[in-house]
Amino acid sequence: MAFSKDFIWGVAGASYQVEGAWNEDGKGPSIWDTYTHSRQSPVKQHDTGDIACDHYHHMKEDVALLKELGVKAYRFSISWSRVIPDGFGEVNPKGLAFYSDLVDELLANGVEPMITLYHWDLPQAIHDRGGWLNPDIVTWFERYTKIIVDALSDRVKYWITINEPQIFIGLGCYTGVHAPFLKLCDRDVILMSKHVFLAHGHAVRTIREYAKQSSKIGFAPTGPTFIPDNESAEAIEEARKKSFAFNPDGYLFSNSWWADPICLGKFPDGAKEFFGDLIPDFTEEEWSIIRSPLDFYGCNIYNASRDETDIAATDAKNGLVGEPITAINWPITPDALYWSARFFYERYQLPVLITENGCANTDYVFLDGKVHDPQRIDYTTRYLRGYYRASKENIPLVGYIYWSFMDNFEWGIGYSARFGLVHVNYQTQVRTIKDSGYWYRDVIASNGEIIWKE
């Protein structure tokens, strides 16, 4: 029993979370640089990504670790303001060179690069011009995409336009938990959504038109998947409905608010009735841009939801009393990968790629010099078993990308959470492959076979 022969086993990271070198070699500031430096930053312990894993200076060592893990793909994001310091003006050749060297190093080590164009670190100069509220962001994002495609598409095949609009608009601009820590009203976040849809669509078109080889393109939303109480047809239908329902209190965090326009070319049922004229009136041409065909449905899934009234929450209060939780209180719900793959495939008819899934744990280096993290191994085994059920039922699966490659800056909670397969000592920058890293290497080598061992 194993996954398909061409199944992609990967790991992921993101620019602001790992790179450091926040103001080196001509990089411009992003909103995460600016707002984590502010006196008012709500980030735990006032942590910042100034140094993070210093991946910018440890790139070759990190790629060697990827090789040691035996991963087939590395999903990483590009810092827009490293490449174009203000987001729309001059290109910074040193910034572009960093990513070009990373791609070369990956390929030389047999690892497929998988690029995310936008993982939340908006150039500050664009934010100062209104950020996602400014319609010009669509053109700026399109131009940035073209610059990256021109520079890297001779070697890069896999592209993800945006990571979790649910979070960078929802937590960033609506609940104010992530930079730029805004609490805007529906009117503004719906306008931002409009620009996100168009930016995504134009980026897809740009990649298709200018890439130097045939590309595989998707995006990486998150969102609640509901698991049925039992496997009766009625319970399954109820869970399916809840997974895509339009909910005026949680719409920004839902699947359908983002994925229905992008994959089906329409807003979810109920949105227009509730919001009326706030809902954008796209022309036919705009809809065809937004709905530009994708090659896979990427999704970041950490757990399943149970409570409709709290669909934005991923912590234990959304689960059952006393159930297993990770180190940051997220419920452990292994069937989430099966039901997500199934529901997303049924609705959007695209092969599924789990672009993120992983476990935060209280990892440290033991007296024997190793990092023992049985919780992570158990968590991932259970989730992969769930995912395998989807494969057995012939749901097309592109692969599985574990979050994260190494411990890193975990946004609002700083360095207090560790998700990595590789431990990072932030004082010394020493990396230690955890037990789970070696285990994942064996999972990959067996193409998933060993997840069945007790």
Interface with ligand BGC by CB under 6 A: which residues? 14, 17, 163-164, 167, 222, 300, 356, 403, 410, 419
Q: Which is nearer to ligand BGC, 74 or 267 (CB)?
A: 74
Q: How far is the CB of 102 from ligand BGC (least distance, A)?
A: 18
Q: How far is the CB of 15 from ligand BGC (least distance, A)?
A: 10
Q: How far is the CB of 32 from ligand BGC (least distance, A)?
A: 11
Q: How far is the CB of 176 from ligand BGC (least distance, A)?
A: 16
- What residues form DSSP beta bridges with 300? 356
Distance CA 117, CA 403 (A): 17
Q: How far is the CB of 405 from ligand BGC (least distance, A)?
A: 11
Q: Which is nearer to ligand BGC, 222 or 255 (CB)?
A: 222
The one catalytic residue in 356, 393, 410, 454 is 356
Q: Which is nearer to ligand BGC, 257 or 282 (CB)?
A: 257
Q: Which is nearer to ligand BGC, 292 or 303 (CB)?
A: 303
Q: How far is the CB of 355 from ligand BGC (least distance, A)?
A: 8
90 counts as catalytic: no
164 counts as catalytic: yes
Intra-chain end-to-end CA distance of the chain, in Å: 15
Q: Which is nearer to ligand BGC, 99 or 330 (CB)?
A: 330
Q: Which is nearer to ligand BGC, 13 or 240 (CB)?
A: 13
The one catalytic residue in 105, 164, 308, 346 is 164
Q: Which is nearer to ligand BGC, 48 or 92 (CB)?
A: 48
Q: How far is the CB of 222 from ligand BGC (least distance, A)?
A: 6
- Give the residue numbers marked as catalytic: 164, 356
